[in-house]
Amino acid sequence: MIAKKRFATPFIFWIIAGTVIPLISIAYYGFTSREGGFTFSNIMAMFQHDHLQALGLSLLLAFISTVICLALAFPMAMVLRESKYGKQGFLIFVIILPMWMNFLLRTMAWQVLLERQGVINSLFAAIGLPRQEMMNTPGAIVLGMVYDFLPFMILPIYNTVSKIDNHLIEASYDLGASKFKTYTKVIIPLAVPGIVSGITMVFIPALTTFVISNMLGGGKINLIGNIIEQEFTVNSNWYLGSGLSLVMMVFIIASMLLLQKFDKTGGQNLI
């Protein structure tokens, strides 16, 4: 055991350098005013009207994206589960394939597609439909989020549903359950751990993203991620940026705790 612990040492340094120190410095900046004294104003700044609006919109868009991802991923995971072994590997490969491309590049591709002079509008024009304003809308941002984060929903759900013993599903039918009841009473409850980690892995990056909203929202739609980013980069106000980040962290921890309530099977807690 002692020998094994020694191998963990590099990881402990990594945690200290990559997690503990940044957290402490964000906490320090968050509670410090520009003049150097202790203050709550950076935290309370979240309750300013435009910040609250951005937070509300972020929560809404992240929520919608998560729901759409879940609605797409669960059936996909079930299809993967049912498919034959050789085919399974190929399908998973196809799902992961876009992740091999750079995240910015993928999002930029949607710009090209959605623009006023873009690919989709050209197609519309060609068949005589009016050009649509698709860029710089909340819809475009949700689309980008779903596109970028969908694999993170499919993989954990697939991982749990693929481990559900087929005998359990057969037992459900054997005991007289319909297909619908088999889903609601057996398959979905057993998939909860995967659903919970899928939701966490989509909702949290969607809530804090600023790249997708920058590229597909054209700077016109401000999410809370954009505001925090601007405080750090444009306004060079690390204090306010850190304060807002701390509030976001509270939201994220709260949502994770809420999710864990559903995961009765327990075992691997996320926090």
Partner 1 sequence: MSELIRLESIVKRFDDTVVLNGIDLSVAENEFVTLLGPSGCGKTTTLRIIGGFEKPDEGRVFFDGKDITDMPANQRHINTVFQNYALFPHMNVGENIAFSMRVRNKPEQYIKDKIKYALKLVNLDGFENRRIDQLSGGQQQRIAMARAIVNEPRVLLLDEPLGALDLKLRQEMQYELVRLKKELGITFLYITHDQEEALTMSDKVVVMNEGYIQQEGTPEQIYDEPVNAFVADFIGDSNILDGQMIAERVVRIDGVDYPCIDGTEQGFPPGRPVDVVIRPEDIDIMPYGQGQFNGTIISKLFIGVHYEMLVQSENGEIEWLLQNYDQHDVGEKIGMKVDPENIQIMHKPKSEAESARELDL
Dihedral over alpha carbons 76, 77, 81, 84 (to 10 degrees): 40
Selected binder of partner 1 within 20, 101, 175, 257 (CB under 8 A): 175
Q: Is 162 in the site for partner 1 (CB under 8 A)?
A: no
- Choice from 94, 176, 268, 271 touching partner 1 (CB under 8 A): 176
Determine the Cα–Cα distance for residues 52 and 251; give it in Å rounded to an integer. 13
- State the DSSP string of 154-172: HHHHHHHHTTS-HHHHHHH
State yes or no: residue 86 binds partner 1 (CB under 8 A). Answer: no
For residue 119, the one-letter residue type is V
To partner 1, the closest distance from the beta carbon of 176 in angstroms equals: 5
- In the complex with partner 1, the residue whose CB is nearer, 177 or 252, is 177
Using the rule CB under 8 A, is 186 a contact of partner 1?
Answer: yes
Interaction of residue 177 with partner 1, rule CB under 8 A? yes
Tell me which stretch binds partner 1 (CB under 8 A): 14-22, 29-37, 169-177, 235-243.
169-177
Helix axes 188-208, 238-262, angle to 10 degrees: 170
- C-beta of residue 34 within 8 angstroms of C-beta of residue 239: yes
Task: Assess 181 for contact with partner 1 (CB under 8 A).
Answer: yes
For partner 1, the binding residue among 168, 250, 253, 257 (CB under 8 A) is 168
Query: Among 206, 216, 209, which Cα is nearest to 140's?
Result: 216
Q: Which spans of this chain sit near partner 1 (rule: CB under 8 A)?
A: 165, 167-168, 170-178, 181, 185-186, 189-190, 264-265
